[in-house]
Amino acid sequence: MSETILIVGGSSGMGLCLARSLMADGARVVIAGRCADRLRRAADALADVGDVRTIAADIAREDDVIRLFAACGDLDHIVSTAADIEGAYELLPALDVAAARKVVDSKFIGPLLLAKHGAPRLAEKGSITFTSGIAAYRPAARGSVVAGVNGALESLAYALAIELAPIRVNVVSPGWVDTPIWKQVAGDEASARLNDMAKRLPVGRIGHAADIADGIRFLMRNGFATGSVLHLDGGHRLV
């Protein structure tokens, strides 16, 4: 019997790559996100591997999350790669608190609500996987909000792994990965900054969406992994 997996933030980048990989294995995949147009484009992009179900929902809104899980029904795994960081990478004097709250909503409150309302829908041996990031370990000027929220998300996962057991709760922490979100971080300098980082990393390259998708799949499948943070950063924490 094939599994049913919900991917929040699956309309682009790492989430979309994960959806393709799981569908190729025969899994039933549901993609959720805020933008109906992006969800339609994602469904079109995945048409060659099968039909994907899409649901428009804002995971920072509890009523949306309740509606999302009512529509999904029973699930085997929940994954969230959602992140709204637009406007959040600023030095403190220029930081818009509204932009900071969007990061908190998408990367902390949203995952908390997914766990609250999703856990009752999960199979006993199911899992929840969140996505944090290297900013929690290698913070930089302009990145205080993202660093703080990534760290908080990992602490949340530790606590949920205890509270929701035997459901497993884990986190993937990507390093610098070439996905569309980098345009929000670095704008026109994105390519140059990625190339510079590739030269610094022990692996000699920037991450790809498939690298992170592989890590999420590992955490979903490994029944002995819970309360874990899987670092997929090319050795960034070491340099």
Q: Each residue of 43-97: pLDDT tens digit?
A: 999 999 999 999 999 999 999 999 999 999 999 999 999 999 999 999 999 999 9
Q: What is the pLDDT of residue 149?
A: 98
Q: What's the token pair of residue 218?
A: 């590992």
Q: What's the token pair of residue 61?
A: 């809104």
Confidence of residue 230 (pLDDT cuts 50, 70, 90): very high
DSSP letters of 97-129? HHHHHHHHIIIIIHHHHHHHHHGGGEEEEEEEE
Is 92 buried (19+), middle (13-18) or exposed (0-12) by CB count in 10 A?
exposed
As a whole number, mean pLDDT of residues 96-106 equals: 97
| Active-site option among 127, 132, 144, 228 | 132
Q: What is the pLDDT of residue 186?
A: 64
CA gap 78, 157 in Å, rounded = 13
What CA dihedral angle connects 206, 207, 208 and 211, to 10 degrees? Answer: 150
CA gap 121, 195 in Å, rounded = 42
Q: What is the pLDDT of residue 211?
A: 97
- Comparing 189 with 11, the larger pLDDT belongs to 11
Q: What is the pLDDT of residues 126-172, one digit of tens each?
A: 999 999 999 999 999 999 999 999 999 999 999 999 999 999 999 99
- Comparing 15 with 185, the larger pLDDT belongs to 15
Find out whether 174 and 233 touch, Cβ atoms under 8 Å. Answer: yes
Q: What is the pLDDT of residues 172-193, one digit of tens each?
A: 999 999 987 776 666 678 888 8
144 catalytic residue (yes or no) = no
As a whole number, mean pLDDT of residues 111-121 equals: 98
Q: What is the pLDDT of residues 199-216, one digit of tens each?
A: 999 999 999 999 999 999
Confidence of residue 42 (pLDDT cuts 50, 70, 90): very high
Q: What is the pLDDT of residue 180?
A: 76
Q: What is the pLDDT of residue 190?
A: 80
Reported pTM? 0.95
Q: Is pLDDT of 1 > 60? A: no
Q: What is the pLDDT of residue 184?
A: 64
